[in-house]
Chain A
Amino acid sequence: MRTRPFQQVDVFTATPYLGNPLAVVLDGEGLGTEAMQQFTNWTNLSEATFVLPPTPEGRAAGADYRVRIFCPGRELPFAGHPTLGTCHAWLQAGNTPRAAGRIVQECGVGLVPLRQDGERLAFAAPPLIKSGPLAEEDVQRIARGLGVARADILHHAWCDNGPNWRGVLLRSAEQVLGLKPDAAVLAGLDVGVVGPRGKVGVAGASDAEGIAFEVRAFFPGNNGLAEDPVTGSLNAALAQWLIGAGLAPARYVASQGTALGRAGRVHVAQDGAQIWIGGDSVTCMAGEVRL
């Protein structure tokens, strides 16, 4: 056990404490899987990450750093907010990528490219594992669980890019923010809900703040239904679905976490066939951890 550089970063916000927190141990060398998992559980955050030097193969393929991502109970091959937060912490610590403005992260799924645009970072959305409409019985169950009429679900789709999200588009952001989900009905489902903030009936229109959609993410937590403040994977999959279906423009900003007192901002941009998921990050705590 020794002291290691540590940061706790707020992701998908430029204002401290309005985003999704992430614990980053900047020197994870010599730590075993069990020690990483135990520290992650202890932080009580949705994710903690451990930065390592790239593997020889990773370095040969251009990786700037390697990261291992843990949530309480298990290791994840990839996750969105930990990718942005880890990259931010790595840059804050004084590291520079081999190619200016482009960082390559090595993690469980392989190499993930990141783009740097000023203070904002974006990752390339991973391909969908499962897409297409949900089964009608799932849609009816989700409507019941969200407490809305079946007719209020205007569109729906599988949004599975690792996390098994089921996505539903409601009539308005107000409806999304007013949801009081029923944990018993939604038990076992990862449900992503999205509603337009712009003019209703105009696909992808933005409101006065430039925000096109309000998003909420519900998943089974250890005390019943939980809500994630700001979710990279869900927003990546929603963007692929909504842009692909002509329900959103090629660039937009989504808001998430409003119902939890946060103000997450997810910046989506399609560039050729690739969709990039971006956000600001801010280091809220910096110091050392004994680990």
Chain B
Amino acid sequence: MHARPFQQIDVFSHRPGDGNPLAVVMEAGDLGAAEMQRFAAWTNLSETTFLLPPTEAGRAGGADYRVRIFTPGGELPFAGHPTLGTCHAWLHAGHRPREAGAIVQECGLGLVRIRQQGGTLAFAAPPLRRSAPNPALLALVTGALGLRPQQILAAQLLDNGPRWLGLLLGDAPTVLGLQPDHARLKDLGQAVGVVHVAPTAGDTQSPGVTVRAFAAPMGNPEDPVTGSLNASLAQWLIAEGLAPRQYLVAQGECLGRAGRVHISQDDDGQVWVGGQAVTCIEGRALL
């Protein structure tokens, strides 16, 4: 056990405390999974990551670094806010990618591309599987949220690794006023993402899209700012013409945060999920 460089990053925010925190342990190449898991349980953050050198195969594929991502309860092949936060920590520590402005991350899912534009990092949304929800499940979730069926404009089951039920609502105050029955959602085993898209959402100067993420089945009643959900919602809403190809999301308001997620679809149809990140705690961790 020795002191290793450590950072705690706020992701999807430029002001410390407004986003979703992430713990990043650098120089973790010699740590075992059990040590990583124990530390991730102890930080109690939604995710803790560990930076390692790329594998030989990863390096050959262009990887700049490798990361392992842990929740307090297990390891994840990929997650959005840990990807942006880890990349920020790696850059903040003075590393530079092989190709300026384009970082390649190796993780459980394989290689993930990250774009750097000014102070914003964005990851390429992983492929999405989506389908219409079972009407019985939809009715139960609607009830657990305290909504009437006619308040839901569109619904879709979204799966890019994490699985969400996406619900499009007609106005932002309804989204912000929801007080879900978290115990009921936990019993139903369904994580739910609720979204509203303002008619002016194409103007990205201010947030035109409001999102909340309810994840009681994952032990997290409400997540402050959620990369995977915003990736899935964007792929669904843009494909169905329910949202413009570029928009700015506000998430976390009900938790006292001010998360901002930048969504854009490029000319190849790839959706990018971006945000700012800021190092809030910097020092050494004993591991």
Contacts and interface: CB of A to CB of B under 8 A. Distances in A.
Interface residues of B, number: 34
A203 interface: no
Contacts of B287: 16
Interface stretch (B35-43, B138-146, B202-210): B35-43
Contacts of B45: 44
A1 interface: yes
A16 B284 CA distance: 14
A287 B221 contact: no
Contact of B21 (A1, A42, A184): A42
Interface string A273-290: 000000000111111111
Contacts of B6: 285, 287
Nearest to B16: A290
Contacts of B199: none
B286 A283 contact: yes
B87 to A, nearest CB: 19
B161 interface: no
Given A42-B21, A223-B182, A291-B16, 13 more contacts: A16-B286, A17-B38, A17-B39, A17-B42, A41-B255, A41-B256, A42-B280, A43-B21, A44-B43, A223-B221, A261-B41, A286-B3, A287-B282
Closest 5 CB pairs of A and B: A287-B283, A17-B42, A285-B285, A289-B281, A44-B44
Contacts of B170: none
Interface in A236-291: 261, 282-291
A284 B39 CA distance: 10
A10, A42, A222, A283 — most chain B CB neighbours (10 Å): A42
A184 B10 CA distance: 35
Interface of B: 1, 3, 6, 10, 16-17, 21, 38-39, 41-46, 182-183, 186, 216, 219-221, 255-256, 278-287
Interface in A1-48: 1, 6, 10, 16-17, 21, 38-39, 41-45
A261 B39 CA distance: 11
A284 B285 contact: yes
A121 B229 CA distance: 45
A288 B281 contact: yes
9 contacts: A6-B283, A17-B41, A42-B17, A44-B21, A45-B44, A286-B284, A287-B282, A289-B280, A291-B16
B221 A285 contact: no
Nearest to B42: A17
Interface of A: 1, 6, 10, 16-17, 21, 38-39, 41-45, 183-184, 222-224, 261, 282-291
A28 B95 CA distance: 32
Nearest to B280: A290
B219 A285 contact: no
Nearest to B255: A41
A21 B42 contact: yes
Contacts of A17: 38-39, 41-42
Given A42-B17, A42-B21, A290-B16, A285 B281 contact: yes
A17 B287 CA distance: 9
A282 B186 CA distance: 36
A287 B16 CA distance: 16
A289 B6 CA distance: 12
Contacts of A10: 42
A283 B279 CA distance: 20
B283 A38 contact: no
Given A21-B44, A44-B45, A224 B183 contact: yes
B31 to A, nearest CB: 12
A223 B220 contact: yes
Contacts of B42: 10, 17, 21, 284
A38 B224 CA distance: 13
Given A44-B21, A287-B6, A261 B38 contact: yes
A21 B17 contact: no
Contacts of B285: 284-285
Given A223-B182, A223-B219, A39 B286 contact: no
Nearest to B6: A285
Contacts of A283: 286
A1 B18 CA distance: 14
Given A223-B186, A224-B186, A287 B284 contact: yes
Contacts of A42: 10, 17, 21, 280
B279 A290 contact: yes
B229 to A, nearest CB: 18
A38 B45 CA distance: 15
A285 B286 CA distance: 6
A17 B17 CA distance: 24
Nearest to A6: B281
B256 A222 contact: no
